[in-house]
Amino acid sequence: MMKYLPVWPVLALLIPAAAAFTSVIRRLSFAGNLRGLIILNAADAAAEMKDRTNSGLPTNLHQRNIVVLCHNVSQDVADGIFDVNNLLKGRIDVLARCITSALWVSNRVRTDTTLYLMLSPHNVTIEVQGSCVRSLTPDERTLALYLQRTLWSYEKEKHSIQRNGGQELSSKLSAGSVPDSRLVGKTSQAPHSKYINPKSIPMSEEKRLRDMRKGRDAMINRIRISHQGKSPLPGLILHQDDTLQTRIRKLILQSSGDSNDILMLSETGVPLWEVLEDKQQNQPESAISIGQNKTSTTLIVGNQIGYSADDEKLLMGIPSVREVSLGPLSLLTSQCITITHHYLDRLFATTYD
C-alpha cells in the first residue's frame, strides 16, 4: 500500500518559496514602473521645453514695459524686512499680484514683458525680466520671498537695525513720552479706590516698545537665515537711486529707432482701445506682412494710492507720454495690467509665430 507524505512539511517548504518569488516579482514590477516613469518625465520635460520654445509669445517684435509707481513704501519694505506670512502689512500682496498679472499666462511666462516696481520715496526699483526669469511661480508668498531676497543685503540689515532697532525706543524715552512707572504706581493708589489686580494693569509704553524691538530683531534673524548663501532669482534686478524721470529716459533710449508708446493710465484719459486701434490703422501693411513692425509699449500705472502730484506734473510734461483710460471706474493695479495685456494681445496677434 502506497504511503503518502505528510502535508504540513510540504506546505512549510512551499510557503517561504512562494513569498520569496512574490517579492522578486514585485521588485521587478517596481523597477519597470520606475523606468517607465522616468521615461515619461523625460518626455514631459522635452515637451515642456518645446512648448516654451514655440510658445507663440512675441519675443522680439514687440516689447512691453510696465512701470508700477508704488507710493508710501516703508523703509522696512525697501530693505526687505517684512513677514512673508503677513503680506497685507506693507502691501506686499500688491507687488506680488503685479508680478503675476504682468508675466504669467497659462502654464508659461510672457517673455516679451519687463516689469518695474518703483518703491517711492526710496528711489529703489525692482526689475523683473520675463525673458530671463527662471523658476517663477504665481503664488504670492513665493513671489514675496523672491522680492525679499532681491531687496535683502547685509549693509541694509545693519543700517536698519541701528536706525529703527534702538533709536526709536531711546528717542521716545528721552522725549518723555513713556510714563514713569513710579508715577503710575502713585496714581493707581488713590484713596477710596477699588482693588486692582496687578496682572490686569496694561503694560507700560516702554515695555511695549521693547517687545516690538525684540520681535523685529527675531524677524530679521529669520530673514537672514532664510536667505543666507542664496542669490537673487535670475531675471530680478535691483536698481538704486532710480527716479521716475531717470527710468523714463532709459526706456526711451532703449527703444531708440523703434516705435515707442508711453501710456499713462488714469480715469480721465482717452480710451485705450481707441488709441491702439488708431495705431494699428496707421501702421503700414507691408511692415506687418513681413514682420518688421518692431515696437514697444510702456505702461505706467500707480498702486492703490495712485499718482502723486509730482508724478503727474513730470509725466504730463513729457511729449511722448499719452494719458489713456480703461473707463471711469477705478480698478486694481493688477486688473489694469491684465486688461492692457489683453488689448495688446489682440493688436499684435498677427505677429505671433
What three-state secondary structure class fits 200? helix
pLDDT band of residue 182 (cuts 50, 70, 90) is very low
Residue tagged 537672514 (cell numbers): 224
Which among 151, 142, 125 has a CA at the least distance from the CA of 84? Answer: 142
Q: Which residues pair with 117 in a beta bridge?
A: 68, 126
Residue 72 burial class via C-beta count within 10 angstroms: exposed 0-12, middle 13-18, buried 19 and up: middle
Per-residue pLDDT tens for 119-170? Answer: 999 999 999 999 999 888 889 999 999 999 999 864 454 454 444 544 444 4
- Confidence (pLDDT) at 288: 43
Residue tagged 502506497 (cell numbers): 2
Rounded Cα gap, residues 121 and 253, in angstroms: 24
Per-residue pLDDT tens for 43-91? Answer: 443 444 344 334 444 444 578 999 999 999 999 999 999 999 999 998 9
Q: Which long-range contacts (CB under 8 A, 24 or more apart) does 334-339 make?
A: 334/94, 334/97, 334/98, 334/100, 334/101, 335/101, 336/265, 336/299, 336/301, 337/66, 337/98, 337/101, 337/102, 337/299, 337/301, 338/101
Most confident of 55-64, 67-76, 178-187, 250-259: 67-76
Average pLDDT over residues 95-109: 93
- Confidence (pLDDT) at 207: 81
- Is the preceding omega at residue 179 within 30 degrees of 0, hence cis? no
Most confident of 259-268, 289-298, 320-329: 320-329
Which among 206, 227, 209 has a CA at the least distance from the CA of 217? Answer: 209
Average pLDDT over residues 321-338: 93
Confidence check: pLDDT of 307 > 80: yes
pLDDT band of residue 97 (cuts 50, 70, 90) is very high
326 contacts: CB under 8 Å, gap ≥ 6: 265, 271, 272, 336, 339, 340
Confidence check: pLDDT of 320 > 70: yes
Rounded to the nearest 10°, the torsion over CA 18, 20, 26, 32 is -120
Rounded Cα gap, residues 248 and 261, in angstroms: 11
Is the whole model's pTM more than 0.75, yes or no? no
Query: What's the CA angle centered on 220, arms 305 and 173, to 5 degrees?
Result: 80
Most confident of 98-102, 165-169, 346-350: 98-102
Query: What's the CA angle centered on 128, arms 127 and 129, to 5 degrees?
Result: 115
- Up-side HSE of residue 296: CA atoms within 13 Å toward CB? 19
Helix (H) / strand (E) containing 104: strand 104-105
pLDDT band of residue 208 (cuts 50, 70, 90) is confident
Which among 100, 94, 22, 11 has a CA at the least distance from the CA of 306? Answer: 94
Rounded Cα gap, residues 23 and 353, in angstroms: 53
pLDDT band of residue 4 (cuts 50, 70, 90) is low
Beta strand pairing status for 321-325 and 259-271? parallel
Query: What's the CA angle centered on 145, arms 158 and 121, to 5 degrees?
Result: 60
Rounded Cα gap, residues 343 and 265, in angstroms: 14
pLDDT band of residue 246 (cuts 50, 70, 90) is very high
92 contacts: CB under 8 Å, gap ≥ 6: 77, 82, 84, 140, 144, 147
Residue 294 burial class via C-beta count within 10 angstroms: exposed 0-12, middle 13-18, buried 19 and up: middle
